[in-house]
Amino acid sequence: MSIKLMALIAVLLLAGCATMGPRSRTAEILAATDARQLALACCVWANDHNGVLPPNLAAVKDLAPVERAAAYELCASGKLADIKAPATTVLLREKQAIPGGRRATAFVDGHCELCSVPPL
C-alpha cells in the first residue's frame, strides 16, 4: 500500500471518529434530559396521587411532553415514602443503550446519570 493511500485512509478514519463524538454526546444529553423530565413528571404525579408512583409512563404523558417516552421503562413502583434509598433506587431508564454503550437512568430522588451497560 502506498504512503499516500495509507495517509488518506488515516485522515478518513480520523474524520469519521471526530464526527461520531459530537453526535453521540448530543444523543446522551437528549436522553438524560428526557429521563429527567419523565422522572420529575413521575414525582408530580405521585404528589397528586397520595405519594404513589404512576403505574406506567403513559400516566404522565400530559405532565412531560417527551417525544421518546416509549423508549423508557418504569423500574420503581409503590409509595415514595416506602423507598428507603431514593438516591440509589432506579425510577426509570432507557430500554436500550444509546450510541456509546450507555443509557440514561433516573433515580427516585430526581437525579439522572448516564450508566454504562454491561455487554450481553
The whole-angstrom separation of Cα 47 and Cα 67 is 23
pLDDT digit string (tens) for the chain, length 120 residues: 555 544 555 555 554 444 445 557 888 888 999 999 999 999 999 999 999 999 999 999 999 888 889 999 999 999 999 999 999 999 999 998 877 788 999 999 989 999 887 654
Residue 98 near residue 104 (C-beta atoms within 8 A): yes
